[in-house]
Amino acid sequence: MPAMLELTLRCSVCGTESADPTQKTCAACGPWGILEVHRPLAKPTEGPGVGIRRFLPLLPVPEHLALPAPPVGDTPLVEAPRLAFQLGLDRLRLKDDGRNPSGSLKDRASWVGAVLANGRTAACASTGNAASSLAAMCAALGTQAVIFVPERAPAPKVAQLQVFGATVFRVRGSYDQAYDLCAQAIERFGWYDRNASVNPMLVEGKKTCGLELGEAEAADWVAVSVGDGCTIAGIWKGLQEMYRLGVLERLPRLLGVQSERSPAVFNEWQSGGDQGPARAPNAAVADTLADSISVGVPRNWRRAVTAVRESGGEMVLVSDDEIDAAMRDCARLGGVYGEPAGVTAVAGLRKAWPGGSAIAVVTGSGLKDVVGAQRAGGEPIDVPPELGAVEAHFAG
Ligand SMILES: *Cc1c(COP(=O)(O)O)cnc(C)c1O
Ligand SMILES: [Zn+2]
């Protein structure tokens, strides 16, 4: 066991507390009683520019484990005035989390996981980004990663974790089947569990995106794409901590955005499903082309719904075509190249049309999904190597 800090785990459903940092879910509520980390609040030690390590006082990571730190976090907040105009917003900023070392926001969680594994093998099931980020962080720390991916995972993401040297099992089945197989293997071999859905420490890593947003000028809305739900829950926790520390002057409303083809969290939000006892979400289809948010049985649905509700926010659904359009708009009008799930927050802003000021979290890089990029971007103009053909193109 790594040395542990002063922390309490509190059930997000019934509030029962536990001081055992290895506990996974609530003893009273069972597997759907997702636990949350509570630590005394403390200000970040250093200013921006040194990455995620500066948030150590707010993370469940003992200082002596936290080195070396790959350059995770401190991603740019890009002003996007032309995209703001198109979306009817006074101001829009894009949090470009595709600029993390492995190309997605997941690096924030994987860094915490790889560090807390403290030399042990770490494992996860992932549609791609959690996996490639774990592979990258384990490589940086010199430890081993074991990954279970569903068949559908895009080739660039699988290639990335092969290159980083992870052991990769490609499971003939859905994400949920890959997840169950991973859980069994973790139990069997005693690996460190980097499944953010059940490991409350990892949401603390995702929280650092919200901590960084909490250091910037406040916005009326923060828009986040939602698959399992722990990203938006983590970002909300980070924003709240910065507000309680007096760093952020007012909290934003959250806009949670899902694909019509993976609407499980949205459905629960709409029906007020977070009011009763701990339970699985009502299962929904999950076949969106935005693979990173294609989740049929989201483990953190309730925390996501609670975060949106606490913030006085909204959830919306967008189509895959609207996501493709957002990929173009985000690049052409905002200068940021995001993968489909990465730009889904932008598609949601277009749908919800909230007005005022907003921050859209672009959760992953466009380089992650070349097929999606080709679909959104279209084909180039084929010409022979003759000036006449170029002239003909511009003549009409
Ligand atoms: C994982 C992921 C999300 C969604 O995060 P959840 O915690 O599953 O809701 C969104 N975008 C990208 C690029 C991701 O990798
Ligand atoms: Zn409970």
**Who contacts 239 (Cβ-Cβ below 8 Å, separation ≥6)?**
210, 211, 213, 214, 222, 248, 251, 252
Give the up-direction half-sphere exposure of residue 176: CA atoms within 13 A in the CB hemisphere: 13
Phi first, then psi: give them for residue 33, nearest 5 degrees. Answer: -90, 85
Q: How far, in Å, from the CA of 277 to the mean position of ligand 2?
A: 9
Q: Are strands 91-96 and 77-79 parallel, antiparallel or unpaired?
A: antiparallel
Phi first, then psi: give them for residue 178, nearest 5 degrees. Answer: -60, -40
Residue 170 lies in a domain: no
Q: Identify the H or E element spanning 37.
A: strand 35-38
Residue type, 282: N
Q: Domain of 346: which CATH number? A: 3.40.50.1100
Per-residue pLDDT band for 210 (boundaries 50, 70, 90) equals very high
8 A C-beta contact, residue 292 and residue 127: yes
How large is the average pLDDT for residues 164-170?
95
Residue 165 lies in a domain: no
Q: Does 356 lie in the same domain as 308? A: yes
More confident call, 156 vs 227: 227
Residue 140 lies in a domain: no
Q: How far, in Å, from the CA of 256 to the mean position of ligand 1?
A: 11
Average pLDDT, the chain: 93
Cβ of 365 closer than 6 Å to ligand 1, yes or no, is no
Q: Is the pLDDT of residue 3 over 70?
A: no
Q: How far, in Å, from the CA of 117 to the mean position of ligand 2?
A: 25
Per-residue pLDDT band for 4 (boundaries 50, 70, 90) equals low
- Closest by CA to 2, choosing from 68, 69, 61, 70, is 61
Three-class DSSP category at 218: coil
Q: How far, in Å, from the CA of 392 to the mean position of ligand 1?
A: 44
Give CA–CA dist 230/192, Å, rounded: 19
Neighbours of 353 (CB within 10 A): 10
Residue 164 lies in a domain: no
Q: How far, in Å, from the CA of 264 to the mean position of ligand 1?
A: 14
Ligand 2 (single-atom ion) residues, CB below 5 Å: 11, 13-14, 16, 26, 28-29, 33
* Residue 94: domain span: 77-100+203-377
Give 172-203 pLDDT, tens digit per residue: 988 788 889 999 999 999 999 988 777 899 99
Cβ of 363 closer than 6 Å to ligand 1, yes or no, is yes
Residue 280 backbone class (left: φ over 0; alpha: ψ -120 to 50; beta: rest): beta
Residue 198 lies in a domain: no
Give 64-115 pLDDT, tens digit per residue: 887 777 899 999 999 999 999 999 999 999 999 999 999 999 999 999 999 9
Q: Does 35 lie in the same domain as 90? A: no
Q: Does 15 lie in the same domain as 91? A: no
Q: Does 15 lie in the same domain as 81? A: no
Which residue of 105, 198, 235 sits with most ligand 1 atoms within 8 Å of its CB, as the best mutation to test the pocket?
105
Q: Does 278 lie in the same domain as 219? A: yes
Q: Does 83 lie in the same domain as 10? A: no
Nearest ligand for residue 34 CA: 2
* Residue in the block written with tokens 């947003």: 213
Residue 157 lies in a domain: no
Which residue of 102, 228, 365, 369 sits with most ligand 1 atoms within 8 Å of its CB, as the best mutation to test the pocket?
228
Q: Does 95 lie in the same domain as 1? A: no
Q: Bridge-partner residues for 38, per DSSP?
A: 8
Give CA–CA dist 228/202, Å, rounded: 13
- Determine the pLDDT at residue 1: 42
- Determine the pLDDT at residue 126: 84
Q: How far, in Å, from the CA of 391 to the mean position of ligand 1?
A: 45
- Provide the number of structural domains found in the chain: 2
Checking 78-81 for CB contacts under 8 A at 24+ apart, the result is: 78/334, 78/335, 78/336, 80/333, 80/334, 80/335, 80/336
Give CA–CA dist 394/383, Å, rounded: 13
Q: How far, in Å, from the CA of 274 to the mean position of ligand 1?
A: 21
Cβ of 226 closer than 6 Å to ligand 1, yes or no, is yes
Number of helices (H) and strands (E), helices first, in the chain? 13, 13
Q: Does 259 lie in the same domain as 207? A: yes
How large is the average pLDDT for residues 204-212?
97
Q: How far, in Å, from the CA of 8 to the mean position of ligand 2?
A: 14
- Determine the pLDDT at residue 2: 43
Cβ of 229 closer than 6 Å to ligand 1, yes or no, is yes
Q: Does 248 lie in the same domain as 333? A: yes
Per-residue pLDDT band for 49 (boundaries 50, 70, 90) equals low
Residue 171 lies in a domain: no
Structure tokens at 290: 């935005």
More confident call, 19 vs 119: 119
Q: Does 86 lie in the same domain as 31? A: no
More confident call, 65 vs 344: 344
Give CA separation, 29 vs 17, 103, 227, 230, 346, in Å.
12, 36, 23, 19, 36
Q: Which of 52-56, 236-240, 297-301 is predicted most confidently?
A: 236-240
Residue 62 lies in a domain: no
Cβ of 339 closer than 6 Å to ligand 1, yes or no, is yes
Give the up-direction half-sphere exposure of residue 79: CA atoms within 13 A in the CB hemisphere: 4
Q: Does 94 lie in the same domain as 15? A: no
Q: Does 1 lie in the same domain as 96? A: no
Alpha carbon 100 to its chain centroid, in Å, reads 12
Cβ of 292 closer than 6 Å to ligand 1, yes or no, is yes
Whats the size of the chain, residue-wise? 396
Nearest ligand for residue 197 CA: 1
